[in-house]
């Protein structure tokens, strides 16, 4: 008997950019909930939408009897989730939404047909919620921590937060048997020559960057045990034979003692799998950390540099310095690690001078790859609150995402496209000799001048 059908709103068919990249990963959060519910004795089915079609999911929803549908939501899936809610409700399903997106907009999703929005970690709430839905229905969930709903009068009720799970080792591993994980590995191998799997070693991030959402895990950092993570990695290697691993932590090197102990445990087990992950520059200042990562098999480390302007980093409350970013990037490369760098244009108060400092930092640091985005205000973040009524919706809420917000008074988006070109060509010219880099230098100059003209600035860069 199926007590709940779990799914998510991401369809690869809807994402042309990802179809070019083709580096999808299984939805671990959903699989954690599935495993927890199954262990509690509940019947769980997972419909993985990543490689599926909307018609296939609609066909499953049309299969009698209708029951409880649980949907994971994130920043980019609003439109498909709302479509799914409409389809499910028309078939008689009770719809429960979870994940960071629904947690930030409970009233909006409830108004558009969802019965319950679960916020925070979903495992314990869902175990309590399913029998309550059966006994009380979706409009009498008063007092259920971690859940929002509409009462019988239609009023939105947001219950108190649920305490977070302290002992992550008490959680079962994600229920990977519920979906076709091997297909993800094979897609990676087909398109890139290396199959990859993902896992997490911790939950949460204690840092308070003003633009970052903490809608699910809050400002916490809870680690799994060294042995528990090593056991899961060993299982993944034996089951799926991956070539590389993605540790999907927010900050993998945050706890150095744990890192050293984990590296020692992997060495004891003779378990060495190439991997990539994300960290912060200030947690990569010790040579021992970088040496340990290299010995473990880390082939690429991603650093959230965000800006080359210390003034902007301080405004973001990043808690790092430009010099730390520069040191960490160079030191990582010295230890044989490739470096990926995340950068953000357009944060509050950024000027063309700050953009120039970012270009200069990336040129000096010379990461192997860098990715840029234009800052967007996510609901319930300090950045969103700071901007206030300057946050402008450019599309109807149901058809948009938080990425579609514009900021009144900020440079036009076209300027950041010129910033991208300037940065790309500047770094390219730096990597080439005087002769071969001439074209790149000229393109960088053109982009810089176009940026200045658009900004109405005749100097200062």
- Record the tokens describing residue 281, joined without a space: 């520059």
Rounded Cα–Cα distance for residues 225 and 264 (Å): 13
338-372 residue pLDDT tens: 999 999 999 999 999 999 999 999 999 999 999 99
Distance CA(283)–CA(254), nearest Å, equals: 6
| Cβ proximity of 100 and 216 under 8 Å | yes
Please give the structure tokens belonging to residue 278. 């994300």
- Predicted local confidence at residue 436, as pLDDT: 82
CATH number of the domain at 180-279, please?
3.30.750
d(CA 319, CA 316): 8
pLDDT at 190 over 70: yes
**225, 169 in Cβ contact below 8 A?**
yes
CA–CA gap between residue 23 and residue 30 (Å, rounded):
18
* Backbone φ and ψ of 361, nearest 5°: -65, -50
Query: Of 397, 436, 207, 442, which is closest to residue 317 (Cα–Cα)?
Result: 207
pTM of the model as a whole? 0.95
d(CA 146, CA 151): 16
The residues, ordered by sequence, that sit 6+ positions from 225 with a Cβ below 8 Å of its Cβ are 169
pLDDT above 70 coverage of the chain, percent: 99
ω into residue 92 within 30 of 0, thus cis?
no
- Pairing verdict, β 4-8 and 44-47: parallel
Please give the average per-residue pLDDT across 211-218, as a whole number. Answer: 92
Residues of the chain by 3-state class (helix, strand, coil), percent to 5: 45, 15, 40
Q: What is the per-residue pLDDT across 30-87, written as a single tens digit (0 to 9) for each?
A: 999 999 999 999 999 999 999 999 999 999 999 889 999 999 999 999 999 999 999 9
Q: What are 62-68's contacts with CB under 8 Å, separation 24+?
A: 62/91, 66/91, 66/92, 66/93, 66/94, 67/2, 67/3, 67/4, 67/5, 67/93, 67/94, 68/3, 68/4, 68/5, 68/93, 68/94, 68/95, 68/96, 68/130, 68/133
Residue 416: band (very low, low, confident or very high) from pLDDT cuts 50, 70, 90: very high
Rounded (10°) CA dihedral 164, 227, 274, 308: 40
More confident residue, 227 or 15: 227
pLDDT for 300 equals 98
Structure tokens at 330: 């160079």
Residues in the chain: 461
Task: Specify the pairing of strand 68-72 against strand 94-98.
Answer: parallel
Mean pLDDT of the chain: 96
Question: What are the residue boundaries of the structural domains of the chain, listed by start?
Answer: 4-158, 180-279
CATH architecture entry for 4-158: 3-Layer(aba) Sandwich (3.40)
457 pLDDT tier (thresholds 50, 70, 90): low
Query: How does strand 202-203 pair with strand 222-223?
Result: antiparallel
Comparing 190-194, 211-215, 291-295, the range with the smallest average pLDDT is 211-215
pLDDT in tens, 229-273: 999 999 999 999 999 999 999 999 999 999 999 999 999 999 999
Q: How confident is the model at residue 1 (pLDDT cuts 50, 70, 90)?
A: confident
Q: What is the mean pLDDT of residues 211-233?
A: 95
Measured in Å, how far apart are the chain's first and last C-alpha atoms? Answer: 66
d(CA 103, CA 302) in angstroms, rounded, equals 27
Handedness of CA 297, 299, 305, 306 (dihedral sign): negative
The Cα 400–Cα 378 span in angstroms is 12
pLDDT tens digits, one per residue of 120-151:
999 999 999 999 999 999 999 999 999 999 99
Q: What percent of the chain has pLDDT over 90?
A: 94
Query: Residue 460's pLDDT band (boundaries 50, 70, 90)?
Result: very low
Q: Look at residue 353 in the predicted model and tell me its pLDDT.
A: 97
Confidence band, pLDDT 50/70/90 cuts, at residue 307: very high
* pLDDT at residue 459, as a whole number: 44
**What is the distance between the alpha carbons of residues 138 and 132, in angstroms, rounded to a whole number?**
8
Nearest residue to 211 (alpha-carbon basis) of 385, 383, 347, 346:
383
């Amino acid at each position: 008997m199926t007590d709940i059908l779990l799914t998510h709103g991401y369809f690869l068919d809807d994402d042309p950019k990802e179809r070019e990249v083709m580096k999808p990963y299984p939805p671990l959060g959903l699989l954690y909930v599935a495993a927890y519910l199954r262990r509690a004795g509940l019947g769980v089915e997972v419909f993985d939408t990543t490689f599926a079609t909307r018609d296939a999911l609609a066909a499953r929803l049309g299969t009698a009897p209708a029951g409880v549908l649980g949907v994971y939501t994130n920043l980019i899936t609003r439109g498909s989730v709302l479509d799914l809610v409409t389809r499910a409700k028309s078939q008689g399903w009770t719809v429960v939404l979870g994940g960071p997106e629904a947690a930030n907009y409970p009233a909006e999703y409830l108004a558009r047909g969802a019965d319950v929005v679960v916020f925070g970690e979903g495992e314990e709430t869902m175990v309590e919620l399913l029998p309550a839905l059966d006994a009380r229905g979706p409009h009498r969930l008063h007092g259920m921590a971690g859940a929002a709903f509409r009462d019988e009068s239609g009023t939105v009720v947001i219950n108190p937060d649920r305490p977070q799970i302290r002992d992550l080792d008490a959680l079962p591993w994600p229920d990977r048997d519920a979906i076709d994980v091997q297909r993800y590995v094979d897609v990676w191998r087909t398109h890139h020559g290396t199959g990859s799997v993902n896992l997490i070693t911790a939950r949460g991030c204690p840092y308070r960057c003003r633009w970052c959402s903490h809608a699910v895990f809050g400002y916490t950092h809870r680690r799994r045990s060294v042995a528990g993570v090593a056991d899961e990695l060993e299982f993944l290697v034996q089951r799926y034979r991956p070539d590389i691993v993605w540790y999907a932590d927010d900050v993998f090197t945050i706890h150095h003692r744990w890192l050293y102990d984990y590296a020692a445990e992997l060495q004891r087990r003779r378990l060495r799998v190439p991997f990539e992950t994300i960290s912060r520059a200030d947690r990569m200042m010790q040579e021992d950390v970088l040496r340990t990562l290299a010995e473990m098999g880390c082939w690429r480390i991603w650093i959230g540099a965000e800006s080359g302007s210390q003034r902007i980093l301080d405004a973001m409350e990043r808690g790092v310095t430009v010099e730390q970013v520069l040191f960490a990037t160079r030191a990582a490369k010295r230890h044989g690690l490739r470096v990926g760098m995340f950068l953000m244009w357009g944060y509050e108060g950024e000027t063309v001078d700050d953009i120039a400092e970012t270009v200069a930092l990336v040129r000096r640091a010379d990461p192997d790859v860098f990715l840029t985005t234009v800052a967007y205000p996510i609901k319930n973040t300090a950045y969103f609150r700071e901007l206030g009524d300057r946050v402008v919706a450019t599309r109807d809420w149901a058809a948009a995402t938080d990425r579609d917000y514009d900021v009144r008074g900020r440079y036009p988006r076209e300027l950041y496209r010129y910033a991208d070109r300037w940065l790309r060509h500047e770094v390219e010219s730096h990597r080439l000799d005087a002769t071969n880099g001439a074209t790149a230098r000229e393109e960088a100059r053109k982009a810089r001048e176009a940026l200045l003209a658009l900004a109405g600035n005749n100097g200062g860069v």
